[in-house]
Structure 1
């Protein structure tokens, strides 16, 4: 636990330093390479040619036909298809700001990609999931319902929002479809495969009925998606029906849970065994935390004994200075979110931040609304900002008058609005980050000359699934049979949620915008290949595991990893050729 906290702290500091470094590089390289002082006899003629051709939107496909960074810079500035869907024009930054230093430009893009992945995951973990967890307690949801709904939403937030952004901003949903399917393939093959290989010596079995239920539902979901892709269009009611499949799954899981609970209540001996099992799982964790806290206190006591007088003052001054430096290094990426996302947890409560966040939250939502609505005029934007500012001032004054300095709101009636506000603002931040991430991948695909969908299938899918790999493998390896059961269930329930809710909700929004007509899905033959390999991996697990008495072993795990590597090799071979 201390180790994971230390790694998280180091990653936070690294990403913040990287952000400051990229900001400094951008400021230093902001130079107009097409300034009249840059003498180039061919540039005026080329400029007139590019300006003449910019009327036609070729989707930025002719970018690599231009010989040097100056002409490419002019091309991306004037070509309609090169304009970004996000907030930063990455093509212009790459060719105009870093045009003379392409290696540094590639490094900067990859570094910014890491920062965006960090923002996406950190916002989901520290703000989105905490709001969902508190809301589930207030709404008194059962652990099973919360697990298959709110927990899945928290874990799948990056994939869900990446899919929604891809459909709503770029219009074709190519990156979104590939990222969700790529993530589902990675989790159901690589993560399950690694779990099977690592815990093979323990001979752990998983519940057969739960495993078959999850895999069959996921196969049915992918088959339904395949039908939609083959047809090539979907109306509003069809997209709603696709999302409804997930609620049928939730209902089945809930019914199964209720049935098993009642059966255990009728058999006290089994219920006692279940209670002992839960206690045996939680007690070591609590004891380990307690031991770590005692060890930390013991270390501090020893350190206090070792220093006295001036040495003690010097020690604590140095320690305070170090903490201050670390706090300042975490500010660049954390401060904007802290100022706009209401937080009411006891460990992070701060009345000044709380008052400022509820004041600025409506203004932030207004800014997001105005950037998403291209048809909104300047007058309407001003009215939106003024209304949001008024609402923010009202909320801020109410927060100042109704909250305490040291303690957050405690009763459910006063806590509920705070949690809803925190949930909405964490959704807004997750959406903004996902939007920028998709925009970056699309631009980088143009720079590299490859399809952005390939980057969505690989880079975006891997980045969003990295948390599943670490969490599920750790849970399976260290949690015994119960941990393995939870991890395997998550490896199939998570991709199912991302597929049905992430893609499904994206289809609902897209079909709604075209209603009463149908939304046309662009033809991408690579999706058939992805679905075939993905469903092949699921069928492999569905056939092999029951034949092995539901014991996770190397044979099943190696087969899943081999299927994914074959798929990846095929994709890379086609790219190189």
Structure 2
């Protein structure tokens, strides 16, 4: 039988092409140049021997930026501007840290996941494949971009941040989130589907084993990295075959996963209906409610909307959105016009402003944006989004949401690296804790909520998501980062410093998986308090051991 290009196959190829193109642009961007290229001989370790802000500021001015892979040099910002006001400077940095976590999560939820879901519907992807590819990509977007930035960044030592973030996030989700779900459901005696659990545990252990081999060997070439990343394609194929042959994961499961995805909306977003407030202001409408409390909530949402406006507008005016609920022709035209300009700025921002190439890039971006804006004006209606040529709009939204996610992750990793130097804390510990927790807290809230309120089916999907997510982060998010680094030095191999502490963390992660496997099988696949308490103890013991070891090495 000949090969036929069905919509599903075309959909797979289209999305794969988009991911490859965007990742290629990010890797070729000077901002994201490979961390494997020769670094400056300077680092920030000398800061620990200086005791006042003036001397630290003078030292930072005398060397090249040593922890600056984002738009802001956070060390210089603190030490050169807040001498005498250290508490104020540190407070601003921590406030900015919260903002970056919000930006990363909100962009993934509001724009990235929306684009993926629309692409899935437009390309008629099967429910199971969409669940383990597009929805996993949407839920794992923060980890994906944090991993990319950690490996592609210019700051020294961010390899540790990327590796520890993936391992820390996987440990948190498979131990803490699964543990909390197990303890919460111990009275309901919910059964976990045996075949799906064995499949996920088996693939996850295989992924951890391959990662451990890479760390022990200490280097990997392009083909090895590509093979590691391709294991996720094998996992997706296995899930798809299981669904086609055994009926595992019917269409209703996708609906549950979509509900899970909608629950992952950032908490701040739940407090304020941005689109509703925007429409009310633009149209001059305010619907008075019968209850005064409703008016109070409206004005509270208005205050929050004003506060978040500087974070909202730049993304709204550069990420094309064509959903029925959020359609606005003026904003859509502005987004396709300004998107190429933003890409031009990102391409040029570290180049010399007087160079000829910079001018050419800006001119090209401006002309492309102008042409796209005129085309959008001529081909769209004010009342509803376009019905024809929808794929270019969705592809544009997908690319620009990836761009904004990458920008947020880049700043987040840069700030965490700088905070490590400021407080004398290893960046690997910050990746294992702060960054991993920040990226995984949504999984905790979402999966626990779904397990408690959506019945046995919701509990099953929540538990499955606790393993599918880490599999995606380990094989795809970390794998694509290794592929990018290896490609940059091809045909040579990239060198990864062996970290015994990271291997110990991987070992504790495997212990947690084995504990879950043994307890579930001894309890006839029922979730219970023994399993949950054991997982929490394993996680706390692993984390405590790592912190003690890191503290003792300083």
Give the Å deviation of 1:109: 1.6
Distance 1:275 1:569, change over 3 A: closer
Q: Does 1:189 align with 2:167?
A: no
Q: Which residue, 346, 360, 374 being the options, matches 2:324?
A: 346
Counterpart CA distance in 1 for 2:253 and 2:501 is 50
Aligned to 2:211: 225
Gaps of 5+ in 1: 1-54, 265-270, 286-299, 307-314
Q: In 2, are the aligned partners of 1:60 and 1:79 still within 8 Å (CA)? A: no
- 2:70 paired residue number: 86
Work out which of the residue numbers 475, 480, 488 in structure 2 matches 1:505.
480
Q: 3-state DSSP class of the match of 2:140?
A: helix
Distance 1:447 1:325, change over 3 A: closer
The structure carrying a bigger helix percent of its residues is 1
Give 1:568 deviation, angstroms: 1.6
Cα distance, 1:83–1:251 mapped onto 2, change above 3 Å: closer
8 Å CA contact 1:162, 1:438 repeated in 2: yes
Name the Cα RMSD after superposition: 2.7
Flag the 1:539–1:350 CA change in 2: closer, same or farther, 3 A. same
Aligned residue in 2 for 1:116: 100
- Correspondence list, 1:291-440, <5 A: 303=290, 325-371=303-349, 378-409=355-386, 411=387, 413-440=388-415
Spell out, residue by residue over 1:229-253, the C-alpha distance to the aligned partner (whole angstroms, 9 max, x if none).
1111111110110011100000010
Q: Mapping of 1:228-307 within 5 angstroms? A: 228-261=214-247, 303=290
Q: State yes or no: 1:567 paired with 2:542.
A: yes
1:143 paired residue number: 127
CA distance change for structure 1 residues 221 and 319 in 2, over 3 Å: closer, same or farther? closer
User: Secondary structure of 2:290's partner?
Assistant: helix
**Which of 445, 458, 473 in structure 1 is aligned with 2:433?**
458
Q: Could you say what secondary structure the match of 1:523 adopts?
A: coil
Q: Deviations over 1:9-34 (max 9, x none)?
A: xxxxxxxxxxxxxxxxxxxxxxxxxx
Contact preservation (8 Å) 1:194, 1:473: yes
Preserved CA contact (<8 Å) 1:475 1:484: yes
Aligned length: 484
Residue in 2 aligned with 1:165? 149
Question: Given that residues 218 and 498 in structure 2 are in contact (C-alpha distance below 8 angstroms), is that contact kept between their aligned partners in structure 1?
Answer: yes
- Residue 443 of structure 1: CA displacement? 0.4
* Partner Cα separation in structure 1 for residue 188 and residue 169 of structure 2: 28
Which residue in the other structure is 1:107 paired with?
Answer: 91
CA distance in 2, matches of 1:534, 1:277: 28
1:365 Cα deviation from its structure 2 partner = 1.3
Q: Which runs of 5+ in 2 are unaligned?
A: 1-38, 263-286
Task: Write the mapping of 1:19-98 to structure 2, written as runs, cut at 5 A.
Answer: 57-80=41-64, 82-98=66-82
The aligned residue for residue 132 of structure 1 is 116
Partner residue, 2:4: none
Q: Structure 1 residue 145: deviation in Å?
A: 0.5
Instruction: State how far apart, in whole Å, the 2-side matches of 1:496 and 1:341 are.
Output: 29
Pairwise CA distance, 1:453: 1.1
CA-CA distance at 1:93 after TM superposition: 1.2
Q: What CA distance in whole angstroms lies between the structure 1 residues aligned with 2:245 and 2:428?
A: 43
C-alpha contact 1:57 1:79 (8 A) present in aligned 2: no
Compared CA separation, residues 518 and 375, structure 1 to 2 (3 A) = farther
- Report the Cα offset of residue 375 of structure 1: 9.5
Task: State how far apart, in whole Å, the 1-side matches of 2:431 and 2:344 are.
Answer: 29
Equivalent in the alignment of 2:275 = none
Tell me how far 1:80 sits from its aligned partner: 2.3
TM-fit CA distance, 1:73: 1.0
Structure 1 position 277, deviation (Å): 13
CA distance in 1, matches of 2:520, 2:252: 28
User: In 2, Cα distance between the equivalents of 1:449 and 1:139?
Assistant: 50
| Distance (whole Å) between structure 1 residues aligned to residue 226 and residue 300 of structure 2 | 54
Distance change >3 Å, CA 385–CA 256, structure 1 → 2:
same
User: Aligned partners of 1:355 and 1:301: how far apart in 2?
Assistant: 32
C-alpha contact 1:340 1:425 (8 A) present in aligned 2:
yes
Distance 2:492 2:108 in 1: 35
1:522 aligned counterpart, secondary structure: coil
| C-alpha contact 2:147 2:478 (8 A) present in aligned 1 | yes
Aligned match of 1:36: none
- Using the size of structure 1 for normalisation, the TM-score is 0.79
Q: CA deviation at 1:371?
A: 3.9
What is the distance in 2 between the residues matched to 1:301 and 1:71?
59
CA distance in 1, matches of 2:450, 2:370: 45
Distance (whole Å) between structure 2 residues aligned to residue 187 and residue 319 of structure 1: 34
Q: Which has the larger radius of gyration?
A: 1
Structure 2 residue matching 1:62: 3-state secondary structure = helix
Q: Tell me what 1:534 maps to.
A: 509
Q: 1:66 touches 1:72 (CA, 8 Å); kept in 2?
A: yes
Q: How does the TM-score come out when normalised to structure 2? A: 0.82
Shift of 1:228: 0.7
Cα contact 2:67–2:418 (8 A) shared by 1: no
Aligned equivalents of 1:422, 1:123: Cα separation in 2: 11
CA distance in 2, matches of 1:481, 1:275: 13
Match of 2:186 in 1: 200
Q: What's the CA shift for 1:376? A: 10
Change (3 A) 1:276 1:497: closer
| Pairwise CA distance, 1:346 | 1.5
2:418 to 443, 453, 463: 443
